[in-house]
């Protein structure tokens, strides 16, 4: 009986861990940057859509989870991840 091989993540475990840490640290930076940019633009009379700011925040918030999933995919089998 043949075992199906599952392709491993292209990122090394260290790179995935760095993505988790940097992504976690990036969330407050993204929040602060969005606030500062919207305040600066409002000062010049340009109104920034709250939807755009929310989208930027959500993208920044997803980064640590992507890194964690890639790290788990690199170090564990699919069965272990599913049972986890």
Q: What is the pLDDT of residues 5-38, one digit of tens each?
A: 445 555 667 776 777 777 677 667 777 777 787 7
Domain borders along the chain are 13-83
pTM of the model: 0.38
Q: How confident is the model at residue 80 (pLDDT cuts 50, 70, 90)?
A: low
Q: Which is more confident, 81 or 48?
A: 48
The span from the CA of 29 to the CA of 72, in Å, is 26
Of the candidates 4, 18, 13, 32, the residue with the CA atom closest to the CA atom of residue 63:
18
Q: How confident is the model at residue 81 (pLDDT cuts 50, 70, 90)?
A: low
Q: Which is more confident, 41 or 58?
A: 41
């Amino acid at each position: 009986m043949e075992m199906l091989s599952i392709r491993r993540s292209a990122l090394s475990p260290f790179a995935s861990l760095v993505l988790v840490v940097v992504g976690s640290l990036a969330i407050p930076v993204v929040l602060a940057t969005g606030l500062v940019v919207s305040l600066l633009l409002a000062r010049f009379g340009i109104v920034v859509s709250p939807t755009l700011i929310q989208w930027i925040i959500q993208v920044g918030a997803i980064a640590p989870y992507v890194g964690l999933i890639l790290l788990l995919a690199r170090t564990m089998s699919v069965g272990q991840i599913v049972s986890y």
